[in-house]
A and B are shown apart, each in its own frame.
Chain A
Amino acid sequence: MSIIAAFNNAFSGMSAGSKLAEIASGNIANALTEGYARREAALTSRNIAGNGMGVTVVSVERQIDEGLLQDLRLSQAKVSANQARLDFYSQIESLYGNPTDEQSLAGSVAGLERTLIEAAARPESVARLSLVADSAKQLVTGLNNAADQIAALRQNADRAIAHDVETLNSALSNARDLNLKIRNLQARGQDVSGLLDQRQQVIDQISLIVPVRALQRQNGEVALFTSTGATLLDGKAAVFGFEPTPLITPEMSMSGGHLSGLTINGQPLSTAPNGGRLGEGGLSSHFLLRDTWAPLAQAEIDTLARNLIERFANPSVDPTLAPAEAGLFVDQTGPFDPANETGLAARLALSSSVDPARGGQLWRLRDGINAGTEPGLADPEILNGYLTALQEKLTLSSGQNGNFANLIAQSAAGNSSHRLIAENDVTQQSSRTRALTSALLESGVDTDKEMQDLMLIERAYAANARVLQTIDQMLGTILEI
């Protein structure tokens, strides 16, 4: 009967209205939730056997631009990678020190040269000799510290890789579980928006570690791939493997077999070049740091340490030395071997024969490292020889040429350039990420719109309720006859 149909129409209107109110209130409640996608309801008029039968809520959709989300994830992975590079080079820059700082490496060399000049003016002065020893120690300590810090950065990178792999594995298995739940609930026709939100957050977490692409599969499932093609999740979740190394020394390398690489489902996965099949992200940067950047920085200061030792290991500078014997600066683990350059900066030390703290004598700075007794003469020859040795223009294997202070300054400048380039890259990538984030957030919850919709819903609900009342009156009129 038409009047019953009218009754049903009004009733469907009211239930649609209450569903819409539920959605609007849910949106407003989650206005500040990160990673929440605004829900919208799709309404359609019901049609049974050619007759209109009111309104129904077809589906509740999450309003999110998948393309934008994809771009944002890839951008975030790049930012992660570039930021790691910037942090590394900034750290190395601080190890070399600020060029105007007397305590910087270049400043320490200049200080040593100055104390040698002043000691040559009064070679008999114990005070001036002691200043020379202090300057030399400052230089040695600076190089030692730099080596220790680089080793620490490498160790941290190894630990960070282990942590990232753990996070990645657990995130992938979470994503797989969510996939299953979504499939099951969707099959039963239930609302899966909340689970979809959760899965989006898990994938966002993964995107900081590796650049990830998400592809929709059937039944609401999603498959995950890295931007360069490795499969992370496709029905089954990939399992990454990595063995952290408890102590990393400068000689250790992955190619030498001392350090662990990455495995995926038991197969080795290379992260070079440019992230290999893993893609450029936080994880690949940690590998780059551990296996490329840090060893290169280490090699640079090792070469400088070797150059320093060689300048002083010269019998024409110090006649008390045997040929090829280390002089003022030594390798503290044993006789100086030019072939054993790796890790030399950490092993660099001042010769104990001039260090009063280790049973040496300051006058040996003036009279020679192996001098037996103190002749007690104010002879500046060896001190002047040391100064000339530092000021001699030598060429390193890298092609750099100059006096020792120059060589250090050139290495520092080279490192600063790397840092500036990394900073540029980070700034560029960050501004892109900001723009994408902004665009994505624009499609989020707008409380003004929700309030407006609520006003309309309220009016529609009132109108439907009025219709119900009217029909009730009409039915009452009929029954009263």
Chain B
Amino acid sequence: MSSLSFGDLAQAFAQKSRISNLKSQSLRLQAELSTGQKGDLAKHLSGATDGLAAMERSRELAAGYLKLSKDFAIRSDIRQNALAVISTGLEGLGQTLATLTENTSPNDRERMATSAKAAFAEAIAALNTDVTGRAIFAGTRHNGPALANAEAMLSQLELVASAAPTSEQAITAIADWFASPSGFSATGYLGAAPLPPQALAAGGPSVAEPTAEHPALRRSLAALAIGALIDKPPFNSPGAETIRLRTGGLDAIAKAKDGVTDLSALIGIDQQRLEKSISQHQAESLSFEQAIANLISADPATTAVELESVRVNLETVYAVTARLSKLSLAEYLR
């Protein structure tokens, strides 16, 4: 018998490997369609997965800096509000002091002093604000308060002022107390060192966080303190002293208002930086997400088409297998 034959198993083997190949393709495409992502990322990117990892990292960092910027923005806004309170207080005191004359009665003086005391207390309360339990003007001492209470400070300042013979010297003494490390810095300011400037992005712009020890704030408190003590010696001396008190007081208020305006402007710049940082990081987050999706997403339309063609292939192979299995001499010899 000559050997003109074709083994049965050869055909079966070929069919089996074709079917298993098509099935594994089909599974892969199904997974890609349902997750929307390419299955084998390393193959899709030809092994260069570190670029993708870098993009994911940038996206994470953008999220982190976004949160940081938002936290700082809240604090900056509250700072700006506190400065507004102080500014209003100074404005009010200025108007009141302008009406002070030699003929002002002691009762009027007392009224003026009481309203100035209230303004002083408001300023201190504003500087002692905290947000989510963190004191804003106390530097690294997060659980505050930034300043000692108004009563304690005023009673100290009363002693300081009464030790001076004239109004002018008393005003100077109060200013000195606020500037000295053994005065305000020791007993008035209860906070700690200011926080270092914080970068809003790797190598980006930074924002500062002033404390209540800032010179502009010290001057403001000094000016308000003067107003609160106008019914105490030596400010309550009659006659020419009153004029000098008014002049000196208005002068201190003017300087304090300038300082507060400057500080407010600086905080305003920081607020702008923070706003810009927030929108920038939000945009970055989105753009990185987009870039990553572009890199790894499996287009559903294309995948569906491929899946369909694999399905058709598989069906064809099944049909052919069924037909061929009947194509055997044994069938026809029945």
Contacts and interface: CB of A to CB of B under 8 A. Distances in A.
A463 B63 CA distance: 94
A84 interface: no
Contacts of B143: 124, 376
A413 B49 contact: yes
B72 to A, nearest CB: 7
Nearest to B1: A453
A405 interface: yes
A420 B44 CA distance: 10
B98 interface: no
B106 interface: no
B129 to A, nearest CB: 15
B134 A122 contact: yes
A378 B195 contact: yes
A270 interface: no
A443 B46 CA distance: 41
Interface residues of A, number: 66
B195 A110 contact: no
Contacts of A111: 60
Contacts of B71: 121-122
A413 B51 CA distance: 9
Nearest to A453: B1
B292 A380 contact: no
B3 A40 contact: yes
A100 interface: yes
B198 A121 contact: yes
A453 B63 CA distance: 79
B131 to A, nearest CB: 10
Contact of B56 (A107, A380, A446, A447): A107
A214 interface: no
A452 B41 CA distance: 54
B57 A444 contact: no
B6 A446 contact: yes
Contacts of B60: 107, 110-111, 113-114
A416 interface: yes
B13 A412 contact: no
A115 interface: yes
B49 A376 contact: no
A113 B141 contact: no
Interface string A96-132: 0011100010110111011111101111100000000
Interface stretch (B26-34, B178-186, B236-244, B325-333): B325-333
A410 interface: yes
Interface residues of B, number: 53
A31 B134 CA distance: 84
Interface string A372-397: 00001111110010000001000000
Nearest to A116: B64
Given A40-B3, A412-B49, A443-B7, A100 B333 contact: no
B198 A444 contact: no
A441 B47 contact: no
Q: What is the interface of chain B mostly: helix, strand, loop, or mixed?
A: helix
B64 A376 contact: no
Contacts of B50: 99, 406, 409-410, 412-413
A124 B142 contact: yes
A420 B10 contact: no
Nearest to A24: B1
Nearest to B203: A391
Contact of B42 (A122, A391, A416, A437): A416
Interface string A115-153: 111101111100000000000000000000000000000
A413 B139 CA distance: 45
Given A38-B5, A419-B42, A452-B329, A118 B68 contact: yes
B67 interface: yes
Contacts of B43: 420, 423
A379 B3 CA distance: 90
B289 to A, nearest CB: 11
A406 B8 CA distance: 56
Given A113-B57, A453-B1, A444 B195 contact: no
Contacts of A117: 61, 64-65, 67-68
Among the interface residues A100, A107, A380, which one has the most CB atoms of the partner chain B within 10 A? A100
A370 B139 CA distance: 23
B209 to A, nearest CB: 10
B3 to A, nearest CB: 6
B140 A100 contact: no
Nearest to A455: B333
Contact of A409 (B53, B61, B139): B53
Among the interface residues B5, B41, B202, which one has the most CB atoms of the partner chain A within 10 A? B5
Contacts of A31: 8-9
A110 B61 contact: yes
B114 interface: no
A63 interface: yes
Nearest to A424: B43
14 contacts: A41-B1, A99-B49, A99-B50, A99-B52, A114-B64, A124-B142, A405-B54, A413-B50, A439-B10, A443-B3, A443-B7, A447-B8, A448-B5, A448-B329
Given A104-B53, A442-B6, 7 more contacts: A41-B1, A99-B49, A380-B195, A405-B54, A416-B47, A417-B42, A441-B9
Closest 8 CB pairs of A and B: A444-B7, A409-B53, A117-B64, A114-B64, A416-B42, A378-B142, A124-B142, A417-B47
Interface of B: 1, 3-10, 13-14, 17, 37, 41-43, 46-50, 52-54, 56-57, 60-61, 63-65, 67-68, 71-72, 133-134, 139-143, 192, 195-196, 198, 202, 292, 296, 328-330, 333
Interface of A: 20, 31-32, 34, 38, 40-41, 63, 93, 98-100, 104, 106-107, 109-111, 113-118, 120-124, 376-381, 384, 391, 405-406, 408-410, 412-413, 416-417, 419-420, 423, 434, 437-439, 441-449, 451-453, 456
